[in-house]
């Protein structure tokens, strides 16, 4: 028997298109005493060959195979199409939240023991479904549809907003995350955790005193929680956020008062802050974590107008100047390749180009991605890899007042205008979903709109998310 509280049941997955329940049984206080598992999932645009409701037997769960063709179709569809973590917990009689239990990953063969942090439903005969062990295991079976998340500030009150929509949906839900003196003059960033909840790093003005705070807002089953990570300075700016393999947040940010590049990270003991680089004036930070959870940060060094790269792969912080040719390195964005090398897109103001700097075993390389036809090509860039290792970069072309998109690999690039109505395409943020569809959030100065573009090279759809918004946007999918 598996115990779980009512509050941890279906509502845990909020508005994702999957609900889990049981076909029969009864409540004994907060414990469901018996019953087999029913998986209820919304159909995708192209329905798989199984109905909306599927009963999966414990024998099928145990063996991961069945003569039942319906169950096998379900298994095959999930295995081929969904990024789902599969985790089984075996035990006797009852498993409770807060207990330590054994777990095993039926696909990779990995196993271990850990704290049961969430329990969502049950199967009989001792096999448990939807059990989270140390937050490392999630859904065993189920279709957890992803959502698109966009964060931005409203105008003129600088409320922090969060807009989200299911990937198969047609309507955005917009909510206010923080209405307490957000600072809309500096960037903010959104990421999505393994449970589908958004986290946002941003700068706000303190309630008392004229100084800035670095804040971290995270969503959950009980709504949004806001915490102050760093405060006391008049110059906190330009945060960028990432989540490590253990589900902890990491944030890079600058400080104009002393010019230092700073780093905040969570661990089991809470938040920690440190100086990542104590020289010159570091701004426009962009953070990515590699497969070992080491930090890689790109930033603009404003004193010398250079592109700077800072990392801690050897256990301590190391900084190098990657490009110092004229005024360069503005609004950089960093992504990590599958072999853990950094790739940085940025604007070279002297040449008015969009550049790519990347590192391999031979060292650093710099090349032009788009040399444009006028002033300010490559401002507000955002970079990401698709599943095949192809690079996508969104950016603003000042001379054409347009949102642009570049796709390719070093030495081979294609560029296009995605949207060029009046003055649009600033503060771009790019994310790529599991089907390699590109999603871009950006600001349209024409009417102070937050915009969204989705598609691929040569085929884009554009829509307005919100009106009366401030400059900076950020997008994530999960």
Q: Is residue 110 domain-shared with residue 235, that is, in the same domain?
A: no
pLDDT band at 168 (very low <50, low <70, confident <90, very high): low
pLDDT band at 457 (very low <50, low <70, confident <90, very high): very high
Instruction: Answer whether 434's CB lies under 8 Å from 421's CB.
Output: no
Instruction: Answer whether 403's CB lies under 8 Å from 394's CB.
Output: yes
Average pLDDT over residues 247-266: 93
Q: How far is CA 334 from the centre of its chain?
A: 14
Q: Which of 1-15, 156-170, 324-338 has the lowest mean pLDDT?
A: 1-15
Residue 257 has a pLDDT of 81
Helix, strand, or coil (residue 73): helix
Average pLDDT over residues 194-201: 89
Q: Is residue 342 domain-shared with residue 456, that is, in the same domain?
A: yes
Reported as a single tens digit per residue, the pLDDT across 388-431 is 999 999 999 988 899 999 999 999 999 999 998 888 999 999 99
Q: Which of 147-151, 206-210, 422-426 has the lowest mean pLDDT?
A: 206-210
Q: Is residue 119 domain-shared with residue 226, that is, in the same domain?
A: no
Kindly state whether residue 139 falls inside one of the protein's structural domains: no
Average pLDDT over residues 343-359: 95
Q: Secondary structure of the chain: what % helix, strand, coil (to 5)?
A: 5, 55, 40
Residue 430 has a pLDDT of 98
Distances (CA, A) of 124 to 78, 113, 450: 22, 21, 49
Reported as a single tens digit per residue, the pLDDT across 211-244 is 789 999 999 878 899 999 998 666 899 999 999 9
Q: How far apart are the first and last CA of the chain?
A: 31
Residue 115 has a pLDDT of 52
CA distance 249 to 295: 11
Residue length, the chain?
478
Kindly state whether residue 367 falls inside one of the protein's structural domains: yes
SS3 annotation, 276-313: EECCCCEEEEEEEECCCCCEEEEEEECCCCEEEEEECC
Helix, strand, or coil (residue 380): strand
Q: Is residue 101 domain-shared with residue 154, that is, in the same domain?
A: no
Residue 28 has a pLDDT of 37
Instruction: Answer whether 25's CB lies under 8 Å from 34's CB.
Output: yes
| pLDDT of 316 strictly over 50 | yes
Reported as a single tens digit per residue, the pLDDT across 120-129 is 333 222 222 3
Residue 208 has a pLDDT of 65
Q: Beta-strand (E) ranges in 389-445?
A: 391-397, 402-409, 412-419, 424-432, 438-444
| pLDDT of 25 strictly over 50 | no
Tell me, what CATH number does 376's domain have? 2.120.10.70
Q: Is residue 294 domain-shared with residue 336, that is, in the same domain?
A: yes
Answer with the one of 89, 111, 133 that is the final residue of a domain.
133
Average pLDDT over residues 287-299: 97
Answer with the one of 88, 105, 133 that is the final residue of a domain.
133
Provide the token pair at 113: 């023991």
Q: Is residue 374 domain-shared with residue 259, that is, in the same domain?
A: yes
Q: Is residue 126 domain-shared with residue 170, that is, in the same domain?
A: no
Reported as a single tens digit per residue, the pLDDT across 63-121 is 333 333 333 444 444 444 333 323 333 333 233 444 455 554 444 455 666 554 443 33
- Highest mean pLDDT among 16-30, 78-92, 267-281, 357-371 belongs to 357-371
CA distance 312 to 139: 33
pLDDT band at 170 (very low <50, low <70, confident <90, very high): confident
Answer with the one of 133, 159, 194 that is the final residue of a domain.
133
CA distance 87 to 101: 12
- Domain carrying residue 239: 147-477
Q: Is residue 241 domain-shared with residue 310, that is, in the same domain?
A: yes
Kindly state whether residue 1 falls inside one of the protein's structural domains: no
Q: Is residue 205 domain-shared with residue 126, that is, in the same domain?
A: no
Residue 427 has a pLDDT of 95
Number of domains in the chain: 2
Kindly state whether residue 416 falls inside one of the protein's structural domains: yes
The percent of residues in the chain predicted with pLDDT above 90, rounded, is 50
CA distance 147 to 153: 20
- What mean pLDDT value characterizes the chain? 74
Kindly state whether residue 444 falls inside one of the protein's structural domains: yes
Average pLDDT over residues 7-35: 29
Kindly state whether residue 201 falls inside one of the protein's structural domains: yes
Q: Is residue 158 domain-shared with residue 181, that is, in the same domain?
A: yes
pLDDT band at 353 (very low <50, low <70, confident <90, very high): very high
More confident residue, 176 or 24: 176
Average pLDDT over residues 247-261: 91
Residue 50 has a pLDDT of 25
Q: Is residue 163 domain-shared with residue 121, that is, in the same domain?
A: no
CA distance 143 to 407: 30
Kindly state whether residue 140 falls inside one of the protein's structural domains: no
Kindly state whether residue 421 falls inside one of the protein's structural domains: yes
Vertex 418 angle, CA 414 and 419, to 5°: 150
Q: Is residue 119 domain-shared with residue 174, that is, in the same domain?
A: no
Average pLDDT over residues 358-363: 97
More confident residue, 259 or 152: 152
Residue 389 has a pLDDT of 96
| pLDDT of 446 strictly over 80 | yes
Residue 186 has a pLDDT of 84
Instruction: Answer whether 54's CB lies under 8 Å from 74's CB.
Output: yes
């Amino acid at each position: 028997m598996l115990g779980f509280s009512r509050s941890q049941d279906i509502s845990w997955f909020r508005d994702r298109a999957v609900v889990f329940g049981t076909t029969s049984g009864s409540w004994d206080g907060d414990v469901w005493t018996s019953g087999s598992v029913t998986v209820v999932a919304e159909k995708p645009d192209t329905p798989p060959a199984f109905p909306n409701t599927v009963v999966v037997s414990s024998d099928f769960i145990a063996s991961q195979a069945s003569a039942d063709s319906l169950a096998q179709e379900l298994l095959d569809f999930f295995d081929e199409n969904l990024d789902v973590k599969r985790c089984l917990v075996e035990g006797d009689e009852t498993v409770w939240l807060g207990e330590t239990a054994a777990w095993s990953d039926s696909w990779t063969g990995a196993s271990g023991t850990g704290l049961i942090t969430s329990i969502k439903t049950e199967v009989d005969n001792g096999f448990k479904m939807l059990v989270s062990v140390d937050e490392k295991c999630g859904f065993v079976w189920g279709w957890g549809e992803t959502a698109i998340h966009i964060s931005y500030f409203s105008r003129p009150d600088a409320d922090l907003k969060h807009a989200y929509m299911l990937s198969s949906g047609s309507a955005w839900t917009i909510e206010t995350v923080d209405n307490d003196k957000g600072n809309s003059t500096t960037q903010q960033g959104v990421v999505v955790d393994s449970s589908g909840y958004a986290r946002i790093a941003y700068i706000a003005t303190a309630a008392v005193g004229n100084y800035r705070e670095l804040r971290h807002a995270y969503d959950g089953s009980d709504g949004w929680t806001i915490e102050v990570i760093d405060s006391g300075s008049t110059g906190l700016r330009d945060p960028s956020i990432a989540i490590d393999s253990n589900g902890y947040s990491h944030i890079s940010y600058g400080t104009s008062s002393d010019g230092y590049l700073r780093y905040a990270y969570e661990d089991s003991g809470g938040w920690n802050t440190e100086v990542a680089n104590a020289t010159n004036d570091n701004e426009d930070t962009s953070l990515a974590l590699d497969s070992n959870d080491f930090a890689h940060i790109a930033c603009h060094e404003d004193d010398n107008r250079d592109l700077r790269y800072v990392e801690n792969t050897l256990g301590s912080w190391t900084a190098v100047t990657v490009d110092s040719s004229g005024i360069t390195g503005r609004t950089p964005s960093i992504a990590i390749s599958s072999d853990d090398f950094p790739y940085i897109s940025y604007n070279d103001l002297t040449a008015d180009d969009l550049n790519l700097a990347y590192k391999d075993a031979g060292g650093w390389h710099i090349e032009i991605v788009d040399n444009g036809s006028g002033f300010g090509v490559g401002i507000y860039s955002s970079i990401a890899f698709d599943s095949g290792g192809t690079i996508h970069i969104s950016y603003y072309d000042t001379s054409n007042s347009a949102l642009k998109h570049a796709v390719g690999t070093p030495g081979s690039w294609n560029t296009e205008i995605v949207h060029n109505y009046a003055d649009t395409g600033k503060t771009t943020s790019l994310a790529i979903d599991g089907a390699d569809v590109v999603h871009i959030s950006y600001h349209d100065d024409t009417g102070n709109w937050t915009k969204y573009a989705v598609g691929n090279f040569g085929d884009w759809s554009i829509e307005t998310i919100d009106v009366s918004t401030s400059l900076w946007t950020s997008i994530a999918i999960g």
